[in-house]
């Protein structure tokens, strides 16, 4: 009897995992295609054969193409991969930790916290938060920005966690998160109010978000921080799985909840903080990608979810970047506009299909 059941169970899970393998391999294929496409397309069109040659032989007919691909487009595509992975995974962690399908880095005001962290550093320097300003800093300066942004997001996250301990209602928590985000942004606004018009323009450009301009050691700093955050996230996947049952159950199964929460918060702050510092506040990826992954893979197991959100997040970010460059034209749309255009309908879809949002965590 027991053996029969076990057999039946294994066959079903086998067909399940073969479906997953198909999805994962097609995702990887699409990501490679998207990566190449992202390098090929842009205001200057470079033929596919040349792109491959530059990638594998590091030579090209035109030195301008070599420079564009190596110094601009590859760093930008790698940044897209890092942003896609980082924001999606931090969104996933927040949704599980707060047991709230609408939680995400920008929704709970975490990106606003990161912006505040960046602003504080810049203010003490007498400059304004902007990519050019960050770029002018040396390697120690970019680390400083990452630390400040991560601390800013950790501060907001910590506040949200404190309030979440008192308020169990999903929607109320979300409103509180939005309010904390508003307060943080208004602090930045006060400082903006006393700024020069040209500085303001730079700040507003920063809020549009940009994947470009993260080059050289900035890219190493961003990559190092995001990988650290992802490793922490993966290490906490077992804890995230038991946290699905709620903190009390998790505790009864031997989880030290405070410790687990600290690791998850550290991971989320590092991911959101570093990405926001370099690329501006990019919205909706953090909330939409975990939802898409859950419905595609039909699981809540974080050991599957974390790698798979990385894949989908990467693919979506690459797609957004391709769309932002509007192939065939000279115009470049800000990345934040594209992610919002794609992401906002997903959020509306979640709210409409989950009419019992208040009671359930999906």
Partner 1 sequence: MTARKSILTAVDLSIGYRLSKGQTYKIAGHLQLNLWQGELVCLLGPNGAGKSTLMRTLAGLHPALEGYISITNLPLSDLKPQDLARKLSMVLTERVEAGNLTVYELVALGRYPYTSWLGTLTAKDVTKVYEAMDVIGITAYQHRSIQYLSDGERQKVMLARALAQDTDMIMLDEPTAHLDLPSRVEMMQLLHQLAKKTQKAILLSTHELDLALQAADKVWLLLPDGNLQVGTPEDLVLKGAFESAFARNGLHFDQATGGFVLHRDNQGPVIGLSGHKDLVFWTRRALQREGFRIETDQTNAYRIEALFTNNQPDWTLYQNGISVQYNSMAELLAALQLWKNN
Question: Is 21 a binder of partner 1 (CB under 8 A)?
Answer: no
C-beta of 239 vs 316, nearer to partner 1: 239
Given 24, 50, 299, 344, the residue binding partner 1 (CB under 8 A):
299
Q: Which range of residues in 41-49, 67-75, 237-245, 281-289 is near partner 1 by CB under 8 A?
A: 237-245
| Closer Cβ to partner 1, 84 or 290, answer by number | 290
Closest to partner 1 by CB, 124 vs 248, is 248
Going by C-beta distance under 8 Å and a sequence separation of 6 or more, which residues neighbour residue 106?
Answer: 112, 181, 281, 282, 283, 284, 286, 287
Considering only 248, 330, 331, 355, the residue that binds partner 1 (CB under 8 A) is 248
Binder among 165, 193, 197, 253 for partner 1 (CB under 8 A) = 253
Residue among 281, 279, 304 nearest 293 (CA): 304
Tell me if 352 contacts partner 1 by CB under 8 A: no
The nearest distance, CB 359 to partner 1, in angstroms, is: 7
Backbone angles phi, psi at 157, to 5 degrees: -60, -40
Q: Between 138 and 254, name the residue whose CB sits nearer to partner 1.
A: 254
Question: Considering only residues 251, 263, 323, 342, which one is a binding residue for partner 1 as defined by CB under 8 A?
Answer: 251
DSSP letter assigned to residue 131:
H
Q: Closer CB to partner 1, residue 352 or residue 359?
A: 359
> Please, what is the minimum distance in Å from the beta carbon of residue 295 to partner 1?
8
Binding mask 78-117 for partner 1 (x = CB under 8 A): ---------------------x------------------
Residue number, 48 or 349, with CB nearest to partner 1? 349
Contact with partner 1 (CB under 8 A): which of 27, 137, 183, 244? 244
Take residue 139 and report the two structure tokens written for it: 């390697």
71 touching partner 1, by CB under 8 A = no
User: Does residue 231 interact with partner 1 by CB under 8 A?
Assistant: no
Among 22, 171, 231, 235, binds partner 1 (CB under 8 A): 235
Q: Please tell me whether residue 356 adopts helix, strand or coil conformation.
A: coil
Among 255, 270, 275, 285, binds partner 1 (CB under 8 A): 255
C-beta of 329: minimal distance to partner 1 in Å?
41
DSSP 156-209: HHHHHHHHHHH---HHHHHHHHHHHHHHHHHHHHHHHHTS-HHHHHHHHHHHH-
Q: Contact between 360 and partner 1 (CB under 8 A)? A: yes
From the list 9, 47, 327, 345, which residue makes contact with partner 1 (rule: CB under 8 A)? 9
Instruction: Give yes or no for residue 5 binding partner 1 (CB under 8 A).
Output: yes
**333 Cβ contact partners less than 8 Å away, ≥ 6 residues apart:** 323, 324, 325, 326
Cα angle 10, 14, 18 (rounded to 5 degrees) comes to: 175
- DSSP state string for 13-78: HHHHHHHHHHHHHHHHHHHHHHHHHHHH-SSS---HHHHHHHHHH---SSHHHHHIIIIIIHHHHH
The percent of the chain in helix, strand and coil, each rounded to the nearest 5, is: 80, 0, 20
Candidates 143, 191, 208, 361; binder of partner 1 (CB under 8 A) is: 361
> Is residue 125 within the footprint of partner 1 (CB under 8 A)?
no
Buried b (16+ CB within 10 A) or exposed e, 229-264: bbebbbebbebbbbbeeebeebeeeebeeeebbebb
> Measured between alpha carbons, how far is 102 from 173 in angstroms, rounded to an integer?
10
Window contacting partner 1 (CB under 8 A); options: 6-14, 76-84, 128-136, 341-349? 6-14
**In 3D, which of 198, 193, 187 has the Cα closest to residue 118?**
187
Span 145-174, contacts to partner 1 by CB under 8 A: none
Contact residues toward partner 1 (CB under 8 A) are 1-2, 5-6, 9, 12, 99, 235, 237-238, 241-242, 244-246, 248-249, 251-256, 294, 298-301, 303, 359-362
């Amino acid at each position: 009897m027991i053996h029969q059941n076990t057999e039946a169970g294994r066959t079903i899970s086998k067909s399940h995992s073969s479906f997953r393998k198909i999805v994962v391999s097609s995702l990887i294929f699409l990501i490679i295609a998207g990566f190449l496409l992202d390098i090929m397309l842009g205001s200057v069109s470079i033929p596919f054969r040349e792109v491959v040659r530059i990638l594998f032989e590091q030579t090209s007919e035109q030195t301008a193409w070599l420079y564009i691909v190596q110094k601009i487009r590859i760093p930008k595509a790698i940044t897209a991969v890092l942003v896609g992975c980082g924001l999606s995974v931090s969104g996933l962690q927040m949704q599980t930790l707060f047991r709230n399908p609408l939680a995400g880095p920008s929704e709970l005001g975490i990106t606003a916290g990161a912006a505040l962290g960046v602003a504080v550093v810049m203010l003490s320097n007498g400059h304004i938060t902007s990519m050019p300003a960050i770029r002018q800093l040396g390697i120690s300066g970019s680390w400083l920005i990452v630390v400040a942004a991560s601390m800013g997001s950790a501060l907001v996250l910590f506040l949200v966690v404190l309030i979440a301990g008192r308020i169990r209602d999903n929607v109320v928590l979300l409103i509180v998160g939005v309010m904390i985000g508003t307060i943080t942004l208004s602090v930045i606004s006060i400082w903006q109010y006393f700024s020069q018009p040209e500085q303001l323009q730079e700040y507003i450009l920063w809020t549009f978000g940009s994947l470009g301009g993260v080059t050289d050691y900035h890219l190493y700093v961003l990559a190092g921080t995001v990988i650290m955050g992802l490793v922490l996230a993966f290490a906490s996947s077992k804890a995230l799985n038991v946290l699905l049952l709620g903190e009390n159950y998790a505790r009864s199964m031997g989880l030290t909840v405070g410790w687990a929460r600290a690791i998850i918060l550290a991971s989320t702050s590092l991911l959101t903080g570093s990405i926001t510092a370099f690329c501006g506040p990019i919205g909706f990826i953090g909330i939409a990608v975990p939802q898409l992954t859950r419905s595609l893979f039909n699981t809540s197991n974080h050991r599957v979810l974390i790698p798979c959100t990385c894949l989908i997040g990467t693919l979506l970010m690459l797609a957004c970047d391709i769309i932002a460059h509007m192939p065939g034209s000279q115009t470049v749309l800000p990345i934040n506009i594209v992610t919002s255009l794609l992401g906002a309908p997903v959020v509306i879809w979640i709210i409409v299909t989950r009419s019992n949002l208040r009671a359930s965590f999906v």
